[in-house]
Structure 1
Amino acid sequence: MSYKIVVDSCCDLPEEYRKDPRFQIVPLILQVGPYEIIDDETFDQKDFLAKVAASDDSARSACPSPELFMRAYETDADDVYVVTLSSKLSGSYNSALLGKSLYHEEHGPKNIHIVDSLSACCGEAQIALKAMELADTGMPFDEVVEKLEAYRDGMNTYFVLDSLETLRKNGRLTGMKAIVATTLNIKPVCCAVKGEVAQRSQGIGIRKALIKMTEIVAQEIIDPVEKTLMITHVNCYERAAVVKDIIMKKVPFKKAIIVDAAGVATTYAGDGGIVVTC
């Protein structure tokens, strides 16, 4: 059975898959002051970060329309697997669901399954790549769906950002019981809990927070030899490489991948942000 994997543009796929015909990326729209930027292959991170730094307004995003998702489902592939941003952080998941309804109304039955990643960026990529791995075995659609949902439920997402301001101003910190004092240079170590942002720990300064995050990853991982460590970075490859090396010395992951943040992750994680999934 042929298949297609549809993701929204918060999914930070490794570069070699971004033009792979098995994948299609449905873009979000990014907004910074008077600028509207499509989060597609034309996204210029350096220019975007400069616009954010020069703007008094917080950057934000708008989810894709249901029609964009519907058009992505219009494929000759028998099975379509869709991975979106956490429904607790974006309307992308609901838009993908509406797109599925529109598709069925216009075209009739088709195997389409939409996964709420309960994560973002490299977390979405982990699920999308797992969908590819499972589908490539030739297993039936329903079995892929079952295993994919179980994989999502066993995945952990952690992150450390230089600033939580963009998340806060856009109402994405509803799961946080408190925001630590930035005046003391205290950086929270955050995680995803049922798709919402929660604080897991903290460190004084970005370096100590990142080290604390690596310790948490090592403590909480289950069956690492069967898993991939994936790290999204926003304009800080060297920082991501250090985090990867520290974790890999602690934990025997099957492999580790560092990916550049696309537009949505750049918007919310901000310059210097690090996201880890496993």
Structure 2
Amino acid sequence: MSIKIITDSTSDLPLDLAESLGVTIVPANVIFGQEQFKDRIEMSPAQFYQRLVDSPVHPTTSAPSIGQFVEAYESVAPDADGIVSVHVSAKLSATYNAAVQASEQVSLDCPIEVIDSEQATFGLGLPVIAAATSAAEGADFDTVVKVARSANERSRCIALFDTLEYLQRGGRIGKAQAMVGSILRIKPMIIVQDGEVQPLGKARTYAKGLAQIQQVARDFGPAENLCVMYSTDEDAARQLADSISDLLPEGQDPIVAPLGPGVGAHVGPGAVGIVSLTASTGE
């Protein structure tokens, strides 16, 4: 018996990594016109971005259903001493609310803690990894919950976009709306803060934008874990990861991972981001 970790696909955890950590992922839905796909299960990131570029139809997304969460909780419960379910910000998606309602509907022999990460993509993914690692080390339910909440508080997600068009179309633009209309050939930068997308700055070129988000990551200080995410430019992401790897403990490398369809529908091609799980002060 152990503590089971559940998250949703907007965590952007690659499926093989999730499997190795024992994390169950409940997929969001990606919709092109009349066609619906389960994020990463029925449509990979590579397939999604190719279709995003080629299709005249702008994709939309929808949260997993309450029923999907009920099924997930019931599937892991027989081998669980507790379930810790960590999800994308409730201000960005209905996913958290669906998970809460599912937790109230099921009748299980173990407790469920549903946590609003107030983050997205690997801003959620790194706390999930921290919680799963704690569970794998044999921590009890309360300790894993504490680890997840501590990691959420230390998770910093920033990104450089080629355009805010996709974020605006998807209705997730939040306070970054202030940058729309003033941007002519300017590369916008955002930060996920207080559960929503907020403006971080603007750069005149993509290269200058990369340099700026690298500096912001450095300003966050030493990291317990790092991830560089990308939508379509893996080479830029890997170069960026190399440039900030010294923020991690010696011998540890940043994760480099694609933004999945559930997030990609809102960021578009050319996006790159950094998530820093800042080092714990031990308090």
Report the TM-score when normalising by structure 2.
0.88
- Alpha-carbon distance in 1 for matches of 2:245, 2:20: 28
1:27-46 superposed matches below 5 A: 27-46=27-46
- Distance in structure 2 (CA, Å) of the matches to 1:99 and 1:228: 31
Distance in 2 between residues matched to 1:139 and 1:49, nearest whole Å:
39
- Structural mapping, 1:71-86, within 5 Å: 71-74=71-74, 75=76, 76=78, 77-86=80-89
SS at match of 1:130: helix
Give 2:129's aligned residue: 129
| SS class of match (1:241) | helix
Answer yes or no: is the 8 Å Cα contact 1:97–1:114 preserved in 2: yes
Once residues 177 and 183 of structure 1 are traced to their aligned partners in structure 2, the CA distance between those partners, rounded to angstroms, is: 11
Q: Per the alignment, in what secondary structure is the counterpart of residue 179 of structure 2? A: coil
Q: Deviations over 1:171-196 (max 9, x none)?
A: 21122251155762111111011110
Q: Which residue of 2 aligns with 1:235?
A: 232
Alpha-carbon spacing, 1:156–1:21, altered in 2? closer, same or farther (3 Å)? closer
CA contact (8 A) 1:159 1:191 kept: yes
**How far 1:252 sits from its partner (Å)?**
4.1
Amino acid at match of 1:44: S
In 1, distance between residues paired with 2:186 and 2:90? Answer: 29
SS at 2:43 equivalent: coil
Quote how far apart the aligned CAs of 1:110 are. 2.1
- Counterparts of 2:244 and 2:181 in 1: how far apart (Å)? 27
Query: Does the 8 Å CA contact 1:180/1:186 hold for their aligned counterparts?
Result: no
Cα separation, partners in 2 of 1:133 and 1:108, compared to 1, 3 Å = closer
Tell me whether 21-30 or 188-197 shows the greater mean CA deviation: 21-30
Among the aligned pairs, what percent are the same residue?
Answer: 25
Report the secondary structure of 1:184's partner residue: coil
Structure 1 gaps of 5+ residues are none
Q: Supply the distance in 2 between the matched residues of 1:15 and 1:63 (Cα, whole angstroms).
A: 18
Query: What is the CA-CA distance between 1:109 and the residue it aligns to?
Result: 4.5
Q: Which runs of 5+ in 2 are unaligned?
A: 277-283
Hey, what does 2:52 align to over in structure 1? Answer: 52
Answer yes or no: is the 8 Å Cα contact 1:32–1:52 preserved in 2. Answer: no
The size of the alignment, in residue pairs, is 271
- Taking the TM superposition and a 5 Å limit, the aligned residue runs for 1:152-231 are 152-176=152-176, 178-181=178-181, 184-221=184-221, 223-224=222-223, 227-231=224-228
1:274 CA drift (Å): 1.2
Measure the CA separation in 2 of the matches of 1:141 and 1:127: 15
In structure 1, the partner of 2:99 is 96
Work out the CA distance in 2 between the residues paired with 1:194 and 1:150: 15
**Contact 1:85/1:120 (CA < 8 Å) preserved in 2?**
yes
Q: Which residue matches 2:113?
A: 113
SS at match of 2:10: coil
Secondary structure, counterpart of 1:176 in structure 2: helix
Partner SS, residue 171 of structure 1:
coil
2: distance between equivalents of 1:12 and 1:34?
Answer: 24
